[in-house]
Chains A and B, each alone.
Chain A
């Protein structure tokens, strides 16, 4: 029996993604610890998932799959390393070990490169150079995580960018970090989800969902995979001004 101490009155709007940010956070915090409300929410989410089935089907453009395939080839899938090592057995053992050695070497090279990149960005001059207008530089500092920081370089087209992160703790497989743009007069917009390596670092491509000049803050929160429709966790990193 779900009583008034629970959030059942707001679960329907929560499942529809229709709560204000503060209410959304309150409900998310409750369902994370309440099996009854969590179960009811799963029902509501399944129900909401059937709503689009009522729409009159519309055929996608004939060339849409080709566009997706072309874009996928430009941004290859990233299978886990251990899967990439599983390239054969028996007669392929030598090939497998050669592949493993090559992967190990590339990991070392990647780590060295990442270390160099992050060190360089921590020092700043290259970012300063890159950040000259019309591109933008945003530095996020640790709120709940004082040792953590991130730097965003927003590309000249204003639609995308890169973010270097350091100092965030690794997450379990069910959790993910999420970058948010908080517009001056609209709900939060998601820009990226990401995880960090064992050293707390990551380098990710982000989407710039709205004009930085119309944004009051950028924050990073921790969310359940695959990410949330609105921030539910406390702000771990944040920026309120940028160049």
Chain B
């Protein structure tokens, strides 16, 4: 992943001026990550494709406006993609969502990153941090972020008290904080 914030902001500025090459550069930089995220959430290649296309078009046509207070450009793009993907999930029944999530995501060839060392190091750091969580904490995070479930829905799904799920979620994020702080700071994020 390219983590140069000035370059991202410059690309966004040019996108807003209608520069197609800037949109292509943003896609080359983050299209793979957004597609990976969307596929993880919706579990369907065609729907993931729709999510990624919609995400870039919304930045192109001005339906979404970058807000620096919400984080760096890739986090903003991921938030748009995640919201669109969760909207797609929520437009289906809860049971259908559970069935879809139970199915395996098909294996695909890996992306060749522009900067594989950065991507590999970042992935290793996040995986290392996630391994520090208990199974219950990790499940709570994944069902919330990738499954689009509310805390109440997670409690129902796991047959656990709502208070337990809330505690696990809070403890998981707090446990991840110091472990991911170096990565977040290296990406230009806020300091813990």
Contacts and interface: CB of A to CB of B under 8 A. Distances in A.
A46 B67 contact: no
Nearest to B89: A186
Contacts of A10: 166
Contacts of A73: 20
A60 B56 CA distance: 14
B2 interface: no
B45 A61 contact: yes
Contact of B24 (A56, A69, A75): A69
Does more than half of chain B's interface fall in helix, strand or loop, or is it mixed? helix
Given A9-B170, A226-B70, A59 B64 contact: no
A91 interface: no
Contact of A42 (B20, B78, B109, B190): B190
Interface stretch (A16-24, A96-104, A110-118, A139-147): A16-24
Given A193-B64, A226-B76, A79 B16 contact: yes
B180 interface: yes
B55 to A, nearest CB: 9
Interface in A39-58: 39, 42-58
B127 A54 contact: yes
Contacts of B36: 52, 55-58
A189 interface: yes
A96 to B, nearest CB: 16
Contacts of A226: 64-67, 70, 76, 79-80
A54 B126 contact: yes
A67 interface: yes
A68 interface: yes
Interface string A102-139: 00000000000000000000000000000000000000
B32 A18 contact: no
Q: Which 7 A-B pairs have the closest CB atoms?
A: A49-B75, A18-B144, A46-B189, A12-B173, A60-B35, A77-B18, A54-B126
23 contacts: A18-B144, A18-B145, A20-B150, A43-B192, A45-B70, A45-B71, A45-B75, A46-B187, A49-B74, A53-B119, A59-B35, A68-B52, A69-B20, A72-B57, A72-B60, A79-B17, A83-B17, A174-B67, A186-B94, A189-B90, A224-B67, A224-B70, A225-B64
Interface of A: 9-13, 15-20, 39, 42-61, 64-65, 67-69, 71-73, 75-80, 83, 174, 176, 183, 186-187, 189-190, 192-193, 209-210, 224-227, 229
Interface of B: 1, 15-20, 23-24, 27-28, 31-33, 35-37, 39-40, 45, 49, 52-53, 56-57, 60-67, 69-72, 74-76, 78-80, 82-83, 86-87, 90-91, 94, 105, 108-111, 113, 119, 122-123, 125-127, 130, 141, 144-145, 148-152, 154, 166, 169-170, 172-174, 176-177, 180, 183-184, 187, 189-192
